[in-house]
Amino acid sequence: MSPVRLDASITGISGKTQGQGISKQANNGSAFESALATEMSKSAGVKLSAHAQKRLAERNLQFGEEEQARVGSGMDKINAKGADKSLVLMDDLALVVSARNRVVITAVDSGNARDAVFTDIDSAVIV
C-alpha cells in the first residue's frame, strides 16, 4: 500500500473549479445554518405528553406560551444541574417533566395535589 499524498489532486471530478466548489459550500453552509436554527427552536420548546394534555384538559387548566416559557426556563436549570426527571412547581401547578426530552409528563393542580406523592424524580424547581 502506498502512502497518501495530501497535495495530490483528486481525480474523477470534472467541470468544477476550486472557486465553484467554494461557492457551493457556502450555499450548503447557509442551508445547514437554517436547518440547525429550525431544529434548535424545536428543541427549545416544551412538549406535552398525551397524559399531561389529558390532565390539563380535565381540569380546565391553561398552558399557554408564557407557561411554556417558564417551564422551559426551569428545564434549562434542571439540565444545567445534570438532573432529568423533575418536579416543576409553577403557580398552582405541579408538573413532572423530563428535562432532557423537554416533555411535560403529567400535571396536577393544587386542588388535586393534597395527598399526591411524586416518585421517580431527581430534583425539583420552582418557576
Same domain flag for 72 and 118: yes
Same domain flag for 61 and 115: yes
Per-residue pLDDT tens over the stretch 2-57: 666 666 566 655 555 555 554 444 455 678 877 766 665 555 689 999 999 999 99
Query: How far is residue 2's CA from residue 45's CA, in Å, rounded to a whole number?
Result: 52
Any domain includes 109? yes
- 74: nearest Cα among 47, 102, 54, 110: 102
pTM above 0.85, yes or no: no
Per-residue pLDDT tens over the stretch 14-26: 555 555 554 444 4
Same domain flag for 67 and 103: yes
Same domain flag for 84 and 117: yes
Q: Where are the alpha helices (DSSP H) in 45-85?
A: 50-58, 65-80
Same domain flag for 63 and 50: yes
The 8-class DSSP code of residue 12 comes to S
Any domain includes 2? no
Same domain flag for 88 and 116: yes
Query: How far is residue 19's CA from residue 12's CA, in Å, rounded to a whole number?
Result: 17
Query: How far is residue 54's CA from residue 23's CA, in Å, rounded to a whole number?
Result: 51
Same domain flag for 105 and 95: yes
Range of the domain at 78: 46-126
Percent of the chain with pLDDT over 90: 53
At 42, list the grid cell. 424545536
Same domain flag for 119 and 91: yes
Any domain includes 5? no
